[in-house]
Amino acid sequence: MTPVTSIRFDVLTIFPGMFVGPIDQSILGRAQAAGLVSVQIHDLRDWAHDRHRTVDDAPFGGGPGMVMKPEPLFEAIEAIQPLVEAPATVIFMSPQGRRLDRALVDELAALPRLLLVCGRYEGVDERVLEHAVDFEVSIGDFVVSGGEIPAMVVIDAVSRRIPGVLGGDDSLDEESFDEGLLEYPQYTRPAEFRGWPVPEILLSGHHAEIGKWRRRLRMLRTRFRRPDLLPGASLTAKERAWLDAQPTDDADQAALDATERGRVD
Ligand code: 9D3
């Protein structure tokens, strides 16, 4: 018997309805049916103390906006933790958090259980972050309206790292990013569309040459679009030398990449 890794997500939110479509569709839906991933959504208002189901209040010291009250959050987290045996790592989705990247996705995928707490309003009572949350996660330096969509991003990205979730060869998913290079350009029929031809090499049937061309395009593209990735990319000394020898002064390298520069000489 091969060991099976699975992960459980609990989500705490005041908008449980936002999660209904996304997590039941496609790859995530299949992963849940296969028992590789489970997702349970919890409505924070179920732990409110009044009949208006209030979960926010004005900030001490004044200032704009509202702050999430501590009692419902503490009580919800304490009620959700014992629902299954594995202890959950509690993550608060927040613009102040550690920025999500591949390394963090992999760290999270190694955990058995995550409790994702979605923020709303201007913020949350700091005592929740200090005493009930393990750490905060952001999906990037831009503002979205709440933690729900970021939590879905975490669930989707982390689930893809669980073996078996992608169905086929899961290792395929990482290959292009793994080597720290962007992907090569792709084409399908027709061979000429509105006067724009597919690069000739791809029609040649010379698989070794096509492989070289694709590799070169990946290197050129990465240098042009994401030069920050290059120092960490796994290139051979020969490949680095080749790339260093390519001119960088073109007005439109992107267009050039797809044709001339990728030519195998
Ligand atoms: C007034 C200052 N704003 C902080 C930048 C207030 C604020 C705006 C939006 C506070 C929270 C939010 C809602 N965003 C999230 O909860 C959130 C988020 C995000 O906005 N960007 C990236 N990642 C995340 S994770 C949660």
We report the CATH number of the domain holding residue 54 as 3.40.1280.10
Residue 99 Cα, ligand 1 centroid: separation in angstroms?
12
| CA 146 – ligand 1 centroid, Å | 6
Asked, for residue 118, whether it belongs to a domain, the answer is: yes
If you average pLDDT over residues 92-114, what whole number do you get? 97
* Mean of the per-residue pLDDT values of the chain: 92
Please give the sequence-ordered ranges of beta strands (E in DSSP) within the chain, or none if there are none.
Answer: 7-13, 37-43, 56-57, 67-68, 89-99, 113-118, 123-124, 135-138, 192-193, 196-197
Same domain, 11 and 39: yes
DSSP 12: E
The structural domain count of the chain equals: 2
Q: Are 185 and 217 in contact (CB under 8 A)?
A: yes
Which residues does a 6 A CB cutoff place in the pocket of ligand 1?
Answer: 93-95, 119, 122, 138-140, 142-147, 150
Phi, psi of 11 (to 5 degrees): -125, 135
pLDDT score of 177 more than 80: no
Q: Quick one: how far is CA 23 from the chain centroid?
A: 14
Whether residue 1 lies inside any domain: the answer is no
Examine the domain organization and report whether 122 and 228 are in the same domain.
no
Q: Which of 143, 149, 155 to mutate to test the pocket of ligand 1 (most atoms within 8 A of CB)?
A: 143
How many Å apart are CA 227 and CA 240, to the nearest integer?
Answer: 13
The residue segments making up the domain with residue 205 are 174-261
Residue 150 Cα: closest atom of ligand 1: 25
Confidence bin at 111 (pLDDT 50/70/90):
very high
Tell the residue number behind the tokens 């029609």, with chain if given.
203
Task: Measure 80 CA to ligand 1 centroid, in angstroms.
Answer: 24
Q: Where is 10: in which H helix or E strand?
A: strand 7-13
Checking if the pLDDT of 90 tops 80, the result is yes
Which of 137, 169, 201 is the endpoint of a domain? 169
Q: Which atom of ligand 1 is nearest to the CA of 143?
A: 20
Question: Is the same domain home to 179 and 71?
Answer: no
Before 247, cis peptide (omega within 30)?
A: no
pLDDT tens for 12-70 read 999 999 999 999 988 999 999 999 999 999 999 999 999 999 999 999 999 999 999 99
Model confidence at 250, pLDDT cuts 50, 70, 90, reads low
pLDDT of residue 120: 85
Q: What's the pTM?
A: 0.92
pLDDT at 252: 40
What residues does 38 pair with on adjacent strands? 8
